[in-house]
């Protein structure tokens, strides 16, 4: 709650219209005892809850025949703007409420319960009363879990209401029997889950295949390069063979050119020898004929003409000499016969010449090709890779088809489930039953949330309160930590003095995160040291702090936003300046 | 508190948005309005 303004009209000691406007931060209302400071706090509770003690219409106003008094409040709570006005005229009491400028008949107790409002208004004389004990409801308000508890209470009452409206469990059982039981639905749901799992498996596999294909494509690229290299090598090998043939031809041509003269001589020699051989063969023929003739002459002792040898010019001795001579001639002819120019000699001569011939251009190119061919090149697996890619694509398509099948199966099952669910949902008893179950779940969830939030807020509050206490107390070594549950200082056995309780109460209030705090006579019972230390802490007690004090000196430095209550002794009325 | 609500919703399979809405009902001061809202949320859950 954040108070924007209070308007008092002829309320108790205040005569006429008195308006107080408040800002965020510290606001001060100064007035001596009996001038009406506490009346301002009372006016808030009158406006909100109609609280009044005795006569509340200003006496001076009554004397002037003004018989109506009223208090108007303008405040904010949880982002909404509220305007409250309570008017009393004789016994006639009227209450007006506007929420965000719209009239409303909501009970103000539902907006801000009185006990919640009381946690923001403190009398300095009695502020220490919060030390040592705080009832559960106030503690819940203080820790910010009252709202959650209200929600839990509402859920519980809704659950109870639903339970009492539930006709009979027998009817529900019959209904489910007709539906084929909940098990049938569960079975369908299990089936749906299975298909979804299968689908997700197929989808996962397709992703894997796609990934594998992309990997194979990369391999294919490198295999293509290897394949290109292989083709190039084949071309090079072909070229190498061509070069070798060319080289051979070239060498042979050159060799023949080189051997040309030699060959001429050889041919001449051959021809010469050939003539000699022919001549010698002819001579041989003659010799053979002569030898045969001489031998027959020697054997028969007669010439072919019949003349005895002893009568011819040649005797036997001469014939024998002639035969010896002819044998010598025969040996010479044999030597001539053995002479020839063999082809083997020519080939070896050619080879000898060829080895010394080296065509440089061909040699260089051949060497380059050899170097290239000597480099190792792995055999290309492009065909294998292409085959794998095709196989993967076929598998991918098959799985896509499988997914389509599964999708149609899933759609059928979903329709069946939906039909059954619709029937179940439209059953009134089922709705109630579901509501009860949901309420149970929410109650258990809220229990846990409330418990956890309480722990958290308690811890936060204790930390903040303890920090304030340690900074303001005169016994920082002794008074270290505050326990919010017991609203007291931890591990302190001795009873606290009223002043110490006052300090502890303000520390506790400072630790609780609040929108607004109103304190009447904040430093009563406090010694100067405590006062001085607490003064520094006052602006941090809440977002909006309203102090009501009789002693302006002690708080004058806190803010410039100050109202003064002035009193007219003659008319016995107070007015706010 | 957000973490607590998230954990509980996951644990009890509750729609977090609706549970958040139910928790936000704590700020509705009007009891009747609050009850009505919570009732509709329980049916929606």
Half-sphere exposure of A457 (CA within 13 A, CB side): 20
Interface list for B 5-44 with A (CB within 8 A): 5, 8-9, 12, 14, 19, 22-23, 25-27, 29-31, 34-35, 38-39, 42-43
pLDDT of residue A346: 63
| A160-181: burial string, b at 16+ Cβ within 10 Å, e else | eebeeeeeeeeebeeebeeeee
Residues of chain B with Cβ-Cβ distance to A456 below 8 Å are 1
Q: How far is B13 from chain A (nearest CA, A)?
A: 9
SS3 A489: strand
Please judge whether A154 and B31 are an interchain contact, meaning their C-beta atoms are less than 8 angstroms apart.
yes
Q: How confident is the model at residue B28 (pLDDT cuts 50, 70, 90)?
A: confident
- Say yes or no to pLDDT of A241 above 90: yes
Q: What region, left, alpha or beta, does residue A143 occupy, with left being phi > 0 and alpha being psi -120 to 50 degrees?
A: alpha
Residue of chain B with shortest Cα separation from A455: B1
Tens-place pLDDT, residues A28-46? 999 988 899 989 999 999 9
Write out chain B residues lying below 8 Å of A77, CB-based: 29
For residue A557, the tally of other CB atoms under 10 A from its CB is 8
Distance CA A450, CA B32 (A): 22
> Rounded to the nearest 10 degrees, how much is the dihedral formed by the CA atoms of A15, A17, A21, A26?
0
Nearest to B25 by CA among A471, A200, A323, A147: A147
Task: Please answer whether residues A551 and A37 qualify as being in contact, where contact means their C-beta atoms are separated by less than 8 angstroms.
Answer: no
The predicted structure's pLDDT at residue A167: 60
d(CA A415, CA A424): 14
Distance from CA of B14 to the nearest CA of A (A): 8
Ramachandran sector of residue A518 (left: φ over 0; alpha: ψ -120 to 50; beta: rest): beta
Which chain A residues touch B26 with a CB distance below 8 Å?
147-148, 150-151
Q: Name the residue facing A110 among B19, B30, B39 (closest C-beta).
A: B30
Q: Which of A128, A116, A139, A115 is nearest to A505 (CA)?
A: A128
User: By a Cβ cutoff of 8 Å, what residues of chain A touch chain B?
Assistant: 77-78, 106, 110-112, 147-148, 150-151, 154-155, 157-158, 431, 434-435, 438-439, 441-442, 444-446, 448-449, 452-453, 456
Question: What's the per-residue H, E or C state across A507-519?
Answer: HHHHHCCCCEEEE
> Helix axis angle, B2-12 relative to B16-24, nearest 10°?
130
Q: Do the Cβ atoms of A151 and B31 come within 8 Å?
A: no
Q: pLDDT for A375-402, tens place per residue?
A: 887 887 888 888 999 999 999 999 999 9
Confidence check: pLDDT of A557 > 80? no
**DSSP string for residues in A303-333:** -TTS-BGGGSSS-HHHHHHHHHHHHHHHHHH
Mean pLDDT of A499-518: 85
Over range A540-548, report the average pLDDT: 90
In the predicted model, is pLDDT for residue A338 greater than 60?
A: no
Cβ–Cβ gap A452/B4 under 8 Å: yes
pLDDT at A208: 93
- E-assigned strand segments in chain B: none
Predicted confidence at residue A41, as pLDDT, reads: 92
ipTM: 0.94
The answer for residues whose C-beta is within 8 angstroms of residue A63's C-beta and 6 or more apart is none
Cβ neighbours around A275 below 10 Å, total: 10
Q: Which residue of A has its CA nearest to B45?
A: A438
pLDDT at A341 over 50: no
Residues of A in contact with B31 (CB under 8 A): 110, 150, 154
Within a 13 Å sphere around the CA of A506, how many CA atoms are in the beta-carbon half? 36
Ordered alpha helix ranges (H), A427-551: 428-472, 498-511, 528-537
Instruction: Write the DSSP symbol of residue A305.
Output: T
Distances A339 to A261, A285, A333, A336, A342 between C-alpha atoms, Å: 20, 19, 10, 5, 9
Q: Quick check: A110 and B19 CB within 8 A? A: no
Cross-chain residue pair B8–A151, CB shorter than 8 Å: no
Place of tokens 């070069």: A243
| pLDDT mean across residues, chain A | 83
pTM, 2 dp: 0.55
d(CA A217, CA A389) in angstroms, rounded, equals 8
- The sign of the dihedral angle between the CA atoms of A180, A181, A183, A185 is positive
A158/B5 touch (CB, cutoff 8 Å), yes or no? no
At residue A133, φ and ψ (nearest 5 deg) are -160, 140
| Crossing angle of helices A382-426 and A428-472, rounded to 10° | 100
Mean pLDDT of A70-96: 91
- Candidates B2, B8, B41: best to mutate against A (most CBs of A within 10 A) is B8
- Give A157's contacts in chain B (Cβ within 8 Å): 35
Q: Can you tell me the mean pLDDT for A472-479?
A: 82
Q: Do A155 and B9 touch (CB under 8 A)?
A: no
Q: In whole angstroms, how far apart are CA A191 and each of A22, A417, A422?
A: 67, 10, 19
Size of interface A-B (CB pairs under 8 A): 74
CA–CA distance, A425 with A259 (Å, rounded to integer) = 116
Give the confidence band of A321 by pLDDT, cuts at 50, 70, 90. confident
> Minimal Cα distance from A453: which residue of B?
B1
Which of chain B's residues have a Cβ under 8 Å away from the Cβ of A441?
A: 12, 14, 45
DSSP letter for A135, please. Answer: -
CA distance A500 to A484: 16
For residue A154, list chain B residues with Cβ-Cβ distance below 8 A. 25, 31, 34-35, 38
Percent of chain A whose pLDDT exceeds 90: 26
Nearest beta carbon to residue A441 from set B12, B34, B35: B12
């Amino acid at each position: 709650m954040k108070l924007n303004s209070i308007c008092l009209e002829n309320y108790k000691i205040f005569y006429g219209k008195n308006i107080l406007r408040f800002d965020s931060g510290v606001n001060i209302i100064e007035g001596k005892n009996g001038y009406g400071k506490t009346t301002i706090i009372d006016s808030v509770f009158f406006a909100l809850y109609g609280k009044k003690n005795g006569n509340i219409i200003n006496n001076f106003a009554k004397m002037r025949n003004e018989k109506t008094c009223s208090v108007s409040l303008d405040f904010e709570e949880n982002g909404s703007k509220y305007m409250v006005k309570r008017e009393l005229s004789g016994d006639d009491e009227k209450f007006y409420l506007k929420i965000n400028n719209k009239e409303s008949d909501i009970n103000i107790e539902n907006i801000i319960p009185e006990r919640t409002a009381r946690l923001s208004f403190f009398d300095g004389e009695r502020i220490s009363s919060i030390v040592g004990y705080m009832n559960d409801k106030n503690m819940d308000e203080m820790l910010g879990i009252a709202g959650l508890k209200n929600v839990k209470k509402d859920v519980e009452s809704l659950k109870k209401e639903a339970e009492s409206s539930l006709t009979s469990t027998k009817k529900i059982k019959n209904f489910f029997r007709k539906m084929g039981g909940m098990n049938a639905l569960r079975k369908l749901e299990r089936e749906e889950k299975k298909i979804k799992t299968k689908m997700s498996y197929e989808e996962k596999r397709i992703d894997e295949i796609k990934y594998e294909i992309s990997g194979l494509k990369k391999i294919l690229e490198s295999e293509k390069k290897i394949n290109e290299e292989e083709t190039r090598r084949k071309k090079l090998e072909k070229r190498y063979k061509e070069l070798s043939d060319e080289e051979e031809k070239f060498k042979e041509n050159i060799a023949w050119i080189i051997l040309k003269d030699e060959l001429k001589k050889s041919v001449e020699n051959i021809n010469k020898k050939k003539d000699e051989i022919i001549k010698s063969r002819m001579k041989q023929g003659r010799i053979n004929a002569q030898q045969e003739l001489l031998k027959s002459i020697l054997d028969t002792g007669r010439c072919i003409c019949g003349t005895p040898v002893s009568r011819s010019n040649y005797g036997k001795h001469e014939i024998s000499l002639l035969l010896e001579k002819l044998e010598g001639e025969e040996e010479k002819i044999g030597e001539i016969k053995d002479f020839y120019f063999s082809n083997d000699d020519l080939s070896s001569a050619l080879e000898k010449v060829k080895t010394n011939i080296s065509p440089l251009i061909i040699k260089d190119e051949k060497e380059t090709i050899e170097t290239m061919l000597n480099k190792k090149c792995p055999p290309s697996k492009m065909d294998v890779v292409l085959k794998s890619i095709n196989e993967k694509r076929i598998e991918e398509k098959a799985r896509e088809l499988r997914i389509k099948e599964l999708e149609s199966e899933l759609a059928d099952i979903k329709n069946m489930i939906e039909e059954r669910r619709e029937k179940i949902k439209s059953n009134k008893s089922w709705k109630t039953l579901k509501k009860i179950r949901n309420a149970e779940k929410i109650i258990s969830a809220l229990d846990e949330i409330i418990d956890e939030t309480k722990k958290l807020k308690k811890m936060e509050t204790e930390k903040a309160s303890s920090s304030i206490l340690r900074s303001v107390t005169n016994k920082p070594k002794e008074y270290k930590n505050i326990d919010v549950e017991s609203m007291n200082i931890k591990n302190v056995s001795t009873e606290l003095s009223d002043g110490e309780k006052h300090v502890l109460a303000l520390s506790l209030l400072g630790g609780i995160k609040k929108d607004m705090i109103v304190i009447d006579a904040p430093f009563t019972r406090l010694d100067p040291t405590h006062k001085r230390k607490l003064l520094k802490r006052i602006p941090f007690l809440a977002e909006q702090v309203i102090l009501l004090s009789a002693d302006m000196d002690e708080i004058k430095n806190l803010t410039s936003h100050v109202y003064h209550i002035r009193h007219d002794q003659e008319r016995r009325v107070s007015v706010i300046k | 508190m957000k973490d607590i609500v998230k954990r509980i919703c996951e644990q009890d399979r509750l729609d977090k948005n609706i549970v958040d809405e139910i928790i936000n009902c704590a700020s509705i001061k009007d009891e009747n309005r609050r009850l009505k809202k919570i009732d509709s949320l329980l049916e929606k859950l």
